[in-house]
Structure 1
Amino acid sequence: METALGTIYDLIWNPLVYVTLISGTVYTIATRAVQIRQLPAMITCLFGRAESKDGTTSFQAFAMALGGRVGVGNIAGVATAIAFGGPGALFWMIATALLTASSAFIEATLGQIYKVKVDGEYRGGIPWYIEKGLGLKWLAVAAATVAVLCYTTLIPGVQSSTIVTSLDDAFGIPTWISGLVLTALTALVVFGGTKRIAHFAQTVVPAMAAAYILLAVIVLVMNFQAIPEVVRLVVSSALGMDAVYGGMIGAAVSWGVRRSLYSNVAGVGEGGFAGAAASVTHPAKQGLVQAFSVYIDTVLVCTATGVMILTTGAYNILPEGRAALTENLPGVEPGAAFTQVAVDTIAPGVGLGGGIVAVAIFFFAFTSILSYFYYGVTNIVYLTGSARGILARIVQVAVLLAVYLGTVRSTELVWMMGDIGYGLIAWFNMVAIALLLPIALKALRDFERQQKQGLNPLFDPAAAGIKGATFWESADAPVTASINRL
């Protein structure tokens, strides 16, 4: 089975690495580097109030998307990229994030443009902008079906598997016990609906990201003398100029791009699902917010992990020490073990690394699981028209089952299934946003035109030359509401 899955993995991901880099570059040029030019506006939009009680705030949508982005990929995935791609993989992770933040802007803007209101909540994302923007209903149905399958069965196990193995290694908690507890905690939140997930993410995600970055700062301060050499090593090995890692430039690019995409999922479409839930006055506002979440995920959190590993010398135990390390920490994804070694340098001999990293993994991965549930239900809403039908309940059960099964499957199988799931969704989304780029650019120009006039941008699809944005033409739209108040 794993051989067959490996073949599927290669077919999906080998070309996707290049598509990700090329599309990110094209979108950066087309938007005139919106992800850099509009950085001040990103901060402003992030803390905007909800324009309707039916939607979430921009910050809550940001937190939900970041909850899906910040997961085990930020701890285990980063170090795995360094282990197999060399230190230069960290450079390419960051470079990919800077480019694909433009992809996140486009997919979230499109998610807002073509969103709908169902059961008193805003929903949108890949299938909606495929149907409404491209007029391809059959492709939208196929995309939604694949997304439901992936978010409810293939992807959640990556997070739950890493949670239970790290808790077992750090605290000796049997995986079957932590698996049951994790499944029960997931049920408590997911049965509460979108608002409960949004409020949970709003509270937990910023705190966990800040705490992890603070931990990285402590490690860096303790190893400050190694920082210049690490920077030189990362850049030189990324560009093939290092004597030791010069021959790994291909692996550095490949692993850097793959793990960046897996971590921040810019271009996969998650930003469109989460971004559509927000109540804003203009789609581009949420596009900017989702682009900013890529920076938090990769440029801050992933870089924190990578620099901790490299400055403490944890990477130097490879490859000879890898077998001994994983024997001492059985079942742990090697990357997580490397991060534990790095954190252990804070208090050598005490063994803090295992516990601290296990707690970080729990919160990072748990919020990812909740975001996956939301994305799965959102696609069920597209297929059935409601989040309250029998299929939505099946999704709830499927996610809980996938969470538990992920705790008893082999780590290699779980990660491969998760990668395949992300890759399948990414192909649907990348084709769609490439075809819909002109629509996103129209929305961006409309936003920036009003921005230059000193206005709070309001979206009128007719004025922007955009068709099919039915929500924005309804009485629920912030534009209509603003006009009615005059």
Structure 2
Amino acid sequence: MLSEIISFLDKIIWSPPLVFGLLITGLLFSIMSRFAQIRQFKEMIRLLFKGEKSPQGISSFQAISLSLAGRVGTGNIVGVSAAIFIGGPGAVFWMWVTALIGASTAFVESTLGQIYKQKENGEYRGGPAFYIEKGIGGKFGKIFALVFAGITVISIGFLMPGVQSNAIATSLHSAFNIPKWIVTIFLIILLALIIFGGIKRIASMATAVVPFMAIVYILLAILIICLNLGEVPALFALIFKSALGLQSTFGGIVGAMIEIGVKRGLYSNEAGQGTGPHAAAAAEVSHPAKQGLVQAFSAYIDTLFVCTATALIILMSGTFNTTDGTKNIHGSPNLIEDNGIYVQNADGSKDYSGTAMYVQSGIDKAFQGSDYHFDPNFAGFGSYFIAIALFFFAFTTILAYSYISETNMAYLTRKMTSKKSNFFITLTRCMLIIATAFGTLKTADAAWDMGDLGVGLMAWLNIIAIWILFKPAFHALKDFEKQKKEKGSGRLAVYRPTNEEVPNADFWIDKASNEQNFYKNK
């Protein structure tokens, strides 16, 4: 009964109004910013590697790595497979469109995260809960913020980690026959060593792992393209023809293609969902717009690069199908795909890494040539590679979940004594480790559905908030571009707002005041 209620609510939350609401928001923000995500593309790259760093804050590169840790996860493999499975090759085109315009939403929410951040226990913290309370203000703003923070702690901190760890345990067991209990112990120890070290240790891990794994993954896709170079023109023609309904095979599923492409694109790059601003707020920068632009670039990395790599591996090999519901895969009664989201095994358990088999078989076929024959019981190079990729992608996602849930718990307990607040933060870390361990040993179907519901609620609340508060973000962009034009370099831009211009941006107002007093006393 409970699972049916959760499933019903989930369908309402993740209905077309939210999916296309996020899409329309990105489009309107793009127009309002005069497509800053395109105009400032060169600046994004420069700022990515030229960010500041301090004892309180992490660098721009560390912040984007932490953000990508949460974005680049199982969705970049399983989600893309599901999108092509349901919507056909044209879904890839709509994922690209989503990334392009979603980058503007990522800019707005991440800039707001920077504007309304604050320093707590020697670290910068911020995110939707912080900018909702400070930006909207009043009793409504406080209640709104508390609701967002509470939902985030439950869904991101307690429910979602098990789904990621289950993908890790399942893929490692399938590829290398590693017992799940061994994976569980290894994950618990590694996770505890990192998350109890605070934001800097999490950011250092993300910085080391995420760029490396993403580059390796993309390079593999490039290698596969080189091995099949003659097929590239036809492949892109297939994507565009399918997207526009010109391909007879996929012409009848244009609606599903657009919806699943948009949904999976948004689900992957998370633009507008309220997760990115947490990492953005932790960065040390001289101007909020700098980190906003860097975070906008993360949407490109996630969807245009990593998701496209997955799509090309699948499409190059031809190992994909489309469906309008439930069907058997490769004639195996033990591999039943339900709406392209998971594989249901014979015992009724659900494997959320299951659709990764399309990528696995795509890699195997690329290297074995026309003699390749799919065998679900055979673990080839593709199976090994995807198992390793899923481990790094999913593990760093859990790390990002840890920081996001911890930040929101810090918000919820900020009026308590330091001792009590630290107790609840430690409790949040422990619950995340328990959820991770539980997920490796048992497929948590209800946890996935409830986590999905929580993330959807986060998205609804955040999208409402950024429509109320978008003006300070565009004020920061205008100020940044003005200083860049005057000084000849965005590197020299410094944010000095007044309380009249941006009320309650306490961190930046105090910083500007301290600078003025410093120079006055000298």
Contact 2:74/2:353 (8 A) holds in 1: no
C-alpha separation in 2, matches of 1:317 and 1:22: 27
CA offset at residue 335 of structure 1? 2.2
Contact 2:118/2:124 (8 A) holds in 1: yes
User: Among 398, 404, 409, which residue is 1:369 paired with?
Assistant: 398
User: Could you say what secondary structure the match of 2:407 adopts?
Assistant: helix
User: Could you say what secondary structure the match of 1:210 adopts?
Assistant: helix
Look up the match of 2:348: none
User: Among 381, 385, 401, which residue is 1:352 paired with?
Assistant: 381
User: Among 208, 216, 225, which residue is 2:221 paired with?
Assistant: 216
C-alpha separation in 2, matches of 1:304 and 1:347: 16
CA offset at residue 110 of structure 1? 0.3
More deviation in 246-255 or 367-376?
Answer: 246-255
Contact 2:77/2:359 (8 A) holds in 1: yes
User: Could you say what secondary structure the match of 2:441 adopts?
Assistant: coil
Please give the residue correspondences for 1:224-243 in structure 2 after superposition, counting only pairs within 5 Å.
224-243=229-248
Please give the residue correspondences for 1:85-484 in structure 2 after superposition, counting only pairs within 5 Å.
85-135=87-137, 136-316=141-321, 321-324=329-332, 327=335, 331=351, 333-348=353-368, 351-385=380-414, 389-410=422-443, 413-453=446-486, 454-455=488-489, 456-462=492-498, 465-475=501-511
Contact 2:156/2:405 (8 A) holds in 1: yes
Contact 2:127/2:281 (8 A) holds in 1: yes
Please give the residue correspondences for 1:13-92 in structure 2 after superposition, counting only pairs within 5 Å.
13-14=14-15, 15-92=17-94
Contact 1:61/1:278 (8 A) holds in 2: yes
Q: In 2 relative to 1, CA 315–442 (structure 1 residues): closer, same or farther, beyond 3 Å?
A: same
CA offset at residue 133 of structure 1? 0.6
Amino acid at match of 1:394: L
Q: In 2 relative to 1, CA 157–480 (structure 1 residues): closer, same or farther, beyond 3 Å?
A: farther
TM-score normalised by length of structure 2 = 0.88
User: Could you say what secondary structure the match of 1:376 adopts?
Assistant: helix
Q: In 2 relative to 1, CA 481–205 (structure 1 residues): closer, same or farther, beyond 3 Å?
A: farther
Amino acid at match of 1:9: D
C-alpha separation in 1, matches of 2:291 and 2:436: 30
User: Could you say what secondary structure the match of 2:498 adopts?
Assistant: helix
Q: Indicate the RMSD between aligned Cα atoms, in angstroms.
A: 2.3
CA offset at residue 182 of structure 1? 1.5
Contact 2:496/2:512 (8 A) holds in 1: no
How big is each residue's C-alpha offset from its partner over 1:196-236, in whole Å with a ceiling of 9 and x where there is no partner?
00111111111111000011111111122222222122112
How big is each residue's C-alpha offset from its partner over 1:172-210, in whole Å with a ceiling of 9 and x where there is no partner?
112232123212211111111111001111111111110
Q: In 2 relative to 1, CA 167–115 (structure 1 residues): closer, same or farther, beyond 3 Å?
A: same
More deviation in 285-294 or 383-392?
Answer: 383-392
User: Could you say what secondary structure the match of 1:192 adopts?
Assistant: coil
Aligned residues: 486
Structure 1, unaligned runs of 5 or more: none
How big is each residue's C-alpha offset from its partner over 1:283-331, in whole Å with a ceiling of 9 and x where there is no partner?
0000000001111111000000011101111115976644539649964
Structure 2, unaligned runs of 5 or more: 337-342, 346-350, 373-378
Amino acid at match of 1:255: I
Q: In 2 relative to 1, CA 57–468 (structure 1 residues): closer, same or farther, beyond 3 Å?
A: same
TM-score normalised by length of structure 1 = 0.95
Q: In 2 relative to 1, CA 343–332 (structure 1 residues): closer, same or farther, beyond 3 Å?
A: farther
Q: In 2 relative to 1, CA 201–51 (structure 1 residues): closer, same or farther, beyond 3 Å?
A: closer
Q: In 2 relative to 1, CA 150–317 (structure 1 residues): closer, same or farther, beyond 3 Å?
A: closer
- For the pair shown, the structure with the greater C-alpha radius of gyration is 2
User: Could you say what secondary structure the match of 2:119 adopts?
Assistant: strand
More deviation in 353-362 or 84-93?
Answer: 84-93
Look up the match of 2:8: 7
Contact 2:73/2:390 (8 A) holds in 1: yes
C-alpha separation in 1, matches of 2:90 and 2:430: 41
C-alpha separation in 2, matches of 1:175 and 1:195: 30
